[in-house]
Amino acid sequence: MSVAEPRRIVLFRHAKADWPDVPDHERPLAERGRKDAAVAGRKLADSGIPFDLAICSTAHRTRETWKLAVHELPHRPKTVYEERLYEASPGVLIAVLNETPDDVRSTLLIGHNPGVHGLADILASQAEGDAQERMSRREFPTAGFAVLSFTGSWKSLEPGTATLQDFWGPSE
Annotated binding site for substrate: 61
The beta strands (E) that lie in 100-160 are given as: 106-111, 124-127, 145-151
* C-beta separation of 86 from 57 below 8 A: yes
- For residues 101 and 120, give the distance between their C-alpha atoms in angstroms, rounded to a whole number: 21
* C-beta separation of 69 from 44 below 8 A: yes
Sequence ranges of the binding site: 61
**Hey, how many other C-beta atoms are within 10 angstroms of the C-beta on 51?**
23
- For residues 22 and 64, give the distance between their C-alpha atoms in angstroms, rounded to a whole number: 16
- For residues 33 and 20, give the distance between their C-alpha atoms in angstroms, rounded to a whole number: 14
Contact partners, residue 67, CB within 8 Å, separation at least 6: none
